[in-house]
Amino acid sequence: MKSPVLAVVALAAVALVACGPSEAETAAAKEKQTADSLAALAAMEKSYTVDATASKLTWTGTMLGVKSHNGTINMTEGKFSVKGGVVTGGAFTVDMKTIAPLDTNYAKDDAKQGTRSMLVGHLSSADFFAVDSFPTANFEITSVEGTTATGKLTLRGKTNEEKVTDIVVTEENGVAKATGKLSFDRQKYGAKWAAPMKDVVLNDAIELTVELTGNAQ
């Protein structure tokens, strides 16, 4: 005859096994815990310091009906914050003395006009951006709505509100990349040069593409 005590212990063990979570329930609980942890991590605001060598500002200026020029300007410093895959704030500064054309709409280097170096000289002069007097330009975010950041652009010592639109953010292994587009009216900043020929008009709108690469702080 089995001991009544042993019988009770056996029944208790069976009950405990029967009442415990199944393998599927345990796996589901672990998946939920992982998902919750990832969601909490994504919801945290993270700050990044701009890597100036890996970031750049690309510009395009168009002579209506004739041609356009495009190029880059180097970043000097910056920072930005991201929460849930969206930029929440930040600022960056560029070196206006690093204007570098990338297009090929130029005369040969030894030509009397229309060369690449002549364009750089003209853009650097008081006709445009007066880089000797105003060697840097910067943008500082004041508010964000969705993929659009509103902020203050300071250029040639003048500050106006502008918007960076179509912002896209990627984050991986402590590095974030944020890109967006900014269009501004050069006339508002004193870059008032006008073509001498009536049938040639330089568009007042300068188109910029901002590309920031930042390292987590």
CATH of the domain at 114: 2.40.128.110
Residues 65 and 19 in one domain: no
Phi then psi for residue 114, to 5 deg, are 80, 15
Residues 155 and 84 in one domain: yes
Residues 38 and 50 in one domain: no
Residues 174 and 73 in one domain: yes
- Does the pLDDT at position 129 exceed 90? yes
Which distant-in-sequence residues (6+ apart) come within 8 Å of 18 by Cβ?
Answer: none
Count structural domains, the chain: 2
Q: What is the predicted pLDDT for the residue at 40?
A: 60
Residues 19 and 107 in one domain: no
Q: What is the mean pLDDT of residues 152-156?
A: 98
Residues 60 and 111 in one domain: yes
DSSP designation for 186: G
Q: Which of 74, 9, 80, 94 is nearest to 45 (CA)?
A: 80
Residues 31 and 51 in one domain: no
Residues 78 and 168 in one domain: yes
Residues 101 and 166 in one domain: yes
Q: What is the predicted pLDDT for the residue at 16?
A: 47
Cα distance between residue 211 and residue 166, in whole Å = 12
Predicted model pTM: 0.78
Residues 32 and 51 in one domain: no
Q: What is the mean pLDDT of residues 114-140?
A: 96
Average pLDDT, the chain: 88
Helices (H) then strands (E): counts for the chain: 3, 11
Q: Which of 81, 91, 48 is nearest to 217 (CA)?
A: 48
| DSSP calls for 17-86 | HHHSPPHHHHHHHHHHHHHHHHHHHHHSEEEEEE-GGG-EEEEEEEEETTEEEEEEEEEEEEEEEEETTE
Residues 24 and 131 in one domain: no
Give the confidence band of 28 by pLDDT, cuts at 50, 70, 90. confident
Q: What is the predicted pLDDT for the residue at 2?
A: 53
Residues 127 and 193 in one domain: yes
109-113, 137-141, 163-167, 181-185: the lowest-pLDDT one = 109-113
- Domain span at residue 16 reads 4-42
- Does the pLDDT at position 165 exceed 50? yes
